[in-house]
Amino acid sequence: MTARPASAPFLQGGALDLEAVRRDFPVLKLQVNGKPLVFLDNAASSQMPQPVIDRWVRYQTQEHANIHRAVHYLSEKATAEYELARRKVQAFINAREEREVIFTSGTTESINLVAHGYGRKFIGAGDEIILTTLEHHSNIVPWQMVAEEKGAKLRVVPIDDRGELRVDEYRKLFSDRTRIVGVTHVSNALGTINPVKEMIAFAHERGVPVLVDGAQAAPHLKVDVQDLDADFYAFSGHKLCGPTGIGVLYGKAALLEKMQPFKGGGDMILSVTFEKTTYNVIPQKFEAGTPPIAAAITLGAAIDYLTALGMDRIAAAEHDLLDYATSEVNRMPGVRIIGTAEKKAAVLSFAIQGVHPHDVGTLLNEEGVAIRTGHHCAQPVMQRFKVPATSRASFAFYNTPAEVDALVAAIRKVQKIFG
């Protein structure tokens, strides 16, 4: 049984019926500080709808056992559901083969898997790794670790004042020592959608593979890894209306087969003696130990839910909401939007003149409005804009124009207090 939205989610004309969608999310009925919760911290983690929660409960109450290891009913059931979840991910991102989908604990682990499994094997002294200023720390630090160990260098693509990648500079960074490119599909700090398809094509002309950090793209855009021709694509379940503790690494089979396993243990082997271990085939080679079975199956339900709504509809609804929020905030004196790229997804970072972002976050919380303040694990972006931190409202398809109004009203209140 797939997780369908609980109620008819479409209006005439095919747009999302927001009221019906919102009824699926129990947490959206919360009151915070006596006000209705306005949840605008979706880039950090999005909320789970009831059919997805139900899937978690059904697994725990009727299907739980360890997988791949026994012939009894529950183990076979859990194994079948876990592998079904893999096929759902495969369809969701249009991977060619299900063995190209590896379950990890999240984007961070997915990127570490590539850095350690591919990078440490194929990057050597004097080699170069291209990253961008827009990367989340999880697509910087693992590469720094590899570079330090191997004596390789990081080359970083700059951004312009709008927060767009300087693609002209990207092209200039390539040399015959370039071994891999790591680029975020959508910036978590600014919302910029990067031209990853063109960047991948350019890298491939030079024989260089590309890892795409899709943590902020998979929840908001229709992702097609074959169309992008991405070599690796990473994302997290908890930003996709799924649970924490589960993520995905997509990798082209030919590359995954050449890579070193990152973790050793049960399930990732074919045979073990004290003299020699033979590794399992992909994807098991990279899934050592008991995997997050419940979380993977529940992620499958989240994918069913989003697919039933339609990623195109989700993207259109969020685009309209971001446009509305941008025009409202732009009209506010003393508020500056940071990140004004032409193509953006779901993120509105801003600074209120004379008010520290931490105070903004605290005062907005008093109004029931949940945003994130800080460096968003993207300190190089903050350094580029010469700010220590920003306030960030990030949207999901279940947010409403009325919630944008609540955000704007709360910002006005902050300005009054500090005015």
Ligand X SMILES: Cc1ncc(COP(=O)(O)O)c(C=O)c1O
Active site (catalytic) residues: 377
Residues in 210-269 at the binding interface with ligand X, rule: CB under 6 A = 213, 215-216, 236
Tokens read off for 180: 């891999």
Shortest Cβ 193–ligand X spacing (Å)? 12
CB of 383 to ligand X, least distance (A): 17
Task: Work out how close the CB of 109 gets to ligand X at its nearest, in angstroms, rounded to a whole number.
Answer: 7
Among 46, 47, 107, 415, binds ligand X (CB under 6 A): 107
Q: In what order do the strands lie in the sheet with 128-132?
A: 101-104, 247-251, 232-236, 210-213, 178-184, 128-132, 153-157
> Which of these ranges, 1-9, 61-69, 209-217, 400-408, lies near ligand X under the rule CB under 6 A?
209-217
Examine residue 41 and tell whether it contacts ligand X (CB under 6 A).
no
Question: Would you say the C-alpha torsion 197, 202, 203, 209 has a positive or negative sign?
Answer: positive
Binding window for ligand X (CB under 6 A); candidates: 57-65, 155-163, 208-216, 332-340? 208-216
Closest CA to 378 of 219, 203, 213: 213
Contacts of 97 (CB under 8 A, 6+ apart): 90, 253
**Are 379 and 359 contacting, i.e. CB atoms less than 8 angstroms apart?**
no
Q: How far is the CB of 216 from ligand X (least distance, A)?
A: 5
- Please state, in angstroms and rounded to a whole number, the distance separating the CA atoms of residues 392 and 374: 8
104 lies in the site for ligand X, by CB under 6 A: no
Is the separation of the CB atoms in 347 and 339 below 8 Å?
A: yes
Closer of 216 and 415 to ligand X (Cβ): 216
Supply φ then ψ for residue 374, to 5 degrees.
140, -155
The verdict on 127 binding ligand X (CB under 6 A) reads no
Token representation of residue 372: 């994130």
Our finding on whether 349 is near ligand X (CB under 6 A) is no
- In this complex, which beta carbon is closest to ligand X, that of residue 253 or of residue 311? 311
Handedness of CA 89, 315, 410, 359 (dihedral sign): positive
Closest separation between CB of residue 215 and ligand X, Å? 3
The minimum distance between CB 139 and ligand X, in angstroms, equals 6
Nearer to ligand X, 107 or 349 (CB): 107
Q: Which is nearer to ligand X, 296 or 406 (CB)?
A: 296
Binding characters for ligand X, 142-181, by CB under 6 A (x = yes): ----------------------------------------
Under rule CB under 6 A, residue 184 binds ligand X? yes
Nearer to ligand X, 184 or 284 (CB): 184
Number of residues in the chain: 419
Residue the block writes with tokens 């680029």: 183
Is residue 123 within 8 A of residue 152, CB to CB? The reply is yes
| Binding status of residue 136 toward ligand X by CB under 6 A | yes
Give, in order, the Cα–Cα distances in Å from 169 to each of 43, 75, 199, 341. Answer: 28, 52, 11, 17
Q: What is the DSSP string of 333-389?
A: TTEEEE---SSB-SEEEEEETTS-HHHHHHHHHHTTEE-EEE-TT-HHHHHHHT-S-
Residue 215, by phi and psi: left (phi above 0), alpha (psi -120 to 50) or beta?
Answer: alpha
Q: How far is the CB of 47 from ligand X (least distance, A)?
A: 15
Which of 42, 138, 194, 394 is close enough to bind ligand X by CB under 6 A? 138
Residue 213 or 367 with smaller CB distance to ligand X: 213
Residues lying near ligand X in the complex (CB under 6 A) are found at 44, 106-108, 136, 138, 184, 188, 213, 215-216, 236
